[in-house]
Structure 1
């Protein structure tokens, strides 16, 4: 399993873990990833040593309780051991193929926009449990939420904040501290289980790496003097912002995946590290800090920025011994050949260490006309030797004209299943009317790295 972390020079993770251990956490077999404890103790009111913001009770109006997203999610969940693959006999209309999670009903916290799926499959002796962390928005206010499933398809969600350790719903909001880097928007990038075998922590805890946006505009895209070749916006929203906002990587930790405490990094804003110097490829912003645990003392963060010199989105890498202090190694991947589906760059990379060794990365590709699709690359060492699969062909193209994701797909999240060639691909989709959702595609096997949108159970 991947692993990551990020911390501050004087703040020791042990102190944060000691406070978080006020939640009850049963010791479990090391063979399996522990589920969150269902009966947490009251949270410690404050963290000490350095500033740490706690989101135990998200500040949103009133709690409207949990709700089922649809008739599918409110019905009994299907057997999680059922083999899933696209079914040619399914009667699901093609316009909704692949859609497994949609915006919540008004006035829930995620009724306007959703995306940035981070999907994890956790196994225990007698069951499996799927967690989906994602960003949601209402009235242009972004938050991070959690949904839960037993099969990764039918999800239970919450319309308000998750107040107990068994709730779903909103779990983290933007910071209210004026000096913080994440006052405008927050987007989850990766969630890892970190234990003493990976970092110096007394017990297993969830580590959330996320992108935090401030309201500082670093590039105004409507400026005619900028020679941008295609329409872009940052952060990605269903309502265009026409600007690049400053974004930096952040870290929060939790004992139950719901109640998060921000860990202040070395940057004065609380972020883990800063953008590059003027002229560097990552001088504008840093986004989507996805971290992979390689070996003990070797953690790798993949993130993207916009290289003004090359005029394209680019993915780079940083390394850390403890997952807290990071050293940048530079960019590892940029735009493709002229006329390719990723000519204008690559972003939102999701890297997975394969069972047989080597790495695979699904990424959001940007074409010269701004169109978004999903591509795939692989590398033997996860560093700079990345090679496009299928000679640079699109892994997941846009849907048909009437599809729910016919405008763009992106923010991929790969989940390995039980078989050697069995994968799921979760992603954010958007239709031409601006509605967003989270979709799923499944691999066809045979070592071909081919995916099809999920179209129902094949029994």
Structure 2
């Protein structure tokens, strides 16, 4: 196994030494990662290259960062030392990321050869909007695909799209890790076999994927495929499954020109055994979820209270210079996670799910995640608990302070989010430009000045009482409190099989759209938004028909609103 060796004294004047520990390289420093200058950052990138296709873990601790000192102050003298979204390529082989370009700023490139997902014999009658489904037999994602994170990169003469997504296979012969975990009990069922892979595209609609582990050459050039597998170290939090949740390009002002590094926040589970709560059952992938009253799903593998492995998930961090070769960054928790779940009786004791990063301003990085709150402290009448979104803050993206739950959806027995909120996508309101906000435009919140005063909006997966999911919209002035639900904006394509009168958003009107037999007729969720500029928004989501079919879809809004229409003319590719 290759060993990543880094000259420690090249990173900081403060003394520290790399410590090799069972294949992991620990870089312990008194300087945060964001303060590393360009030539020193190149050494870390070398370490990342050396650790590719291994299970090495690199730990970067920043003792000088006081996580309790996050105050939400405006930028200024911190702007040159804190991590910010990078606006330059991570490697000479990759184009620079597009930052809300106008529709004419990134010329269209001819689409790459489309992949041909494996469609089950009982495929839905309508595939409108579907862009990715299960891979062909023998591939690492042959049994299904789930959560997807899409990023668009543009240069002067082309645009390239990357989709990091979770996938799994029930065929252990097609899984390079064989699902092995020496700490696991073979008699206890495993809740998830998810891995993380990457697909590439020239236009964000026609995707090319790989059937095995992504291969790259010495310069980082290569194709798509599986890029992150469970850890083989028994003590880690992610020995059973790993699922991508967010990918951001981050660097400091000092290294913006040539040192952008991709940061992946993901969730992983290990062999810890826990009983499954009833609330979680309908949200399992279609091949695992049990039948639910009112659901077309047939009976599946798990039942309420059954003891399984992999239910308790924690948040991990990995870094890459090319999006294919990832090195885990060891967090403060003894398992390697960036933070631990809550203590017994706290709202987030069961798991952490769906971490997503938002840059508020220099020195104020925010992390949104969800959990199932069974503490009873939220005033819920439902005894099974409610899904809530939590919030944490950091100065450097490495050390986090939790601030508790901030949003749990609307109220009402028949609301589309009656059981709460899970995966979400939080961003500044794209309907108001940053220039307008800084100029104190009429649509901006607050007064004039250099501060970006746009509201925050949240596209979120709301869980209905029957276990189905829809995508709703909420807004907040500061992103930390006062989230207000504005209702559903994208729902399953149910048509004639829609909800009965009196269900939906509580208005007594049936809100289903589309047609019966659609691939996403039961649930839509896990939103990811790409702003193409000029009011053109593209929504990526995960949908299912409740009968075992699940895939990634795309919908668009051309007028800057949050009313989306499924992308058409894609079915011939599937």
Judge same fold: TM > 0.5, yes or no: yes
Cα distance change on mapping 1:33 and 1:289 into 2, 3 Å: same
The alignment partner of 1:417 has SS state of strand
Match of 1:142 among 186, 194, 198: 194
8 Å CA contact retained: 2:390, 2:407: yes
Within 5 Å, which residues of 2 pair with 1:291-440?
Answer: 291-308=357-374, 309=376, 310=380, 311-338=385-412, 339-355=414-430, 356=432, 357-389=454-486, 392-399=487-494, 400-419=515-534, 421-440=535-554
Shift of 1:417: 1.2
Match of 1:129, SS state, is strand
Instruction: Provide the C-alpha distance between the structure 1 equivalents of 2:213 and 2:397, rounded to a whole number of angstroms.
Output: 29
In 1, the alpha carbon distance for the partners of 2:159 and 2:255 equals 25
Partner of 2:327: 261
Question: Is the contact between residue 37 and residue 256 of structure 1 (CA under 8 Å) also seen in structure 2?
Answer: no
Tell me how far apart the structure 1 counterparts of residues 92 and 325 of structure 2 sit (CA, whole Å): 12
1:455 corresponds to 2:568: yes
**Correspondence for 1:251:** 317
TM-score (norm: length of structure 1) = 0.78
Conserved 8 A contact 1:361-1:376: yes
Match of 1:121 among 143, 152, 161: 152
Q: In the alignment, which residue of structure 2 is the partner of 1:3?
A: none
**Shift in Å at residue 131 of structure 1?**
0.6
CA offset at residue 70 of structure 1? 2.2
Native 8 Å contact 2:491 2:523 kept in 1: no
1:275 Cα deviation from its structure 2 partner: 0.9
**1:430 deviation in Å?**
1.4
Aligned counterparts of 1:198 and 1:170: Cα–Cα separation in 2: 32
Change in Cα spacing, 1:398 to 1:278, as seen in structure 2 (3 Å) is farther
Q: How many Å apart are 1:36 and its aligned residue? A: 4.1
User: Cα 1:304–1:200, aligned 2, differ >3 Å: closer, same or farther?
Assistant: farther
Provide the rounded CA distance (Å) in 2 between the counterparts of 1:360 and 1:145: 28
Q: Is the 8 A contact 2:87 2:256 kept in 1?
A: no
More strand per residue:
1
> Which residue of structure 2 aligns with residue 74 of structure 1?
none
Answer whether contact 1:289 1:302 (CA < 8 A) is retained: yes
- What whole-Å deviation, never above 9, does each CA across 1:15-63 have from its counterpart, x for those lacking one? 8862324689xxxxx9954164449xxxxxxxxxxxxxxxxxxxxxxxx
Residues 364-416 of structure 1 show CA distances to partners (whole Å, capped at 9, x for unaligned) of: 11011111111111222211121222xx2343334432101122111111111
Corresponding residue SS for 1:19: helix
Aligned to 1:183: 239
- State how far apart, in whole Å, the 2-side matches of 1:343 and 1:455 are: 31
- Runs of at least 5 residues in structure 1 that lack an aligned partner in the other structure: 1-7, 25-29, 40-65, 72-92, 222-227
Unaligned runs of 5+ in 2: 1-25, 50-84, 95-111, 118-123, 171-191, 290-301, 433-453, 495-514
Q: 2:287 aligns with which of 238, 241, 244?
A: 238
Offset from partner CA, 1:189-234 (integer Å, 9 cap, x none): 111111112999981110000011123233333xxxxxx5x56267
Change (3 A) 1:284 1:368: same
**Separation in structure 2 between the aligned mates of residue 215 and residue 233 of structure 1, nearest angstrom:** 22
Q: So what's the TM-score if we normalise by structure 2?
A: 0.63
SS in 2 for 1:294: strand
The offset of 1:320, in angstroms, is: 0.3
How many angstroms apart in 1 are the aligned matches of 2:239 and 2:272? 10
Alignment partner of 1:288 is 2:354: yes
Q: Retained in 2: the 8 A contact 1:396–1:451?
A: no
> Which residue pairs with 2:336 in the alignment?
270
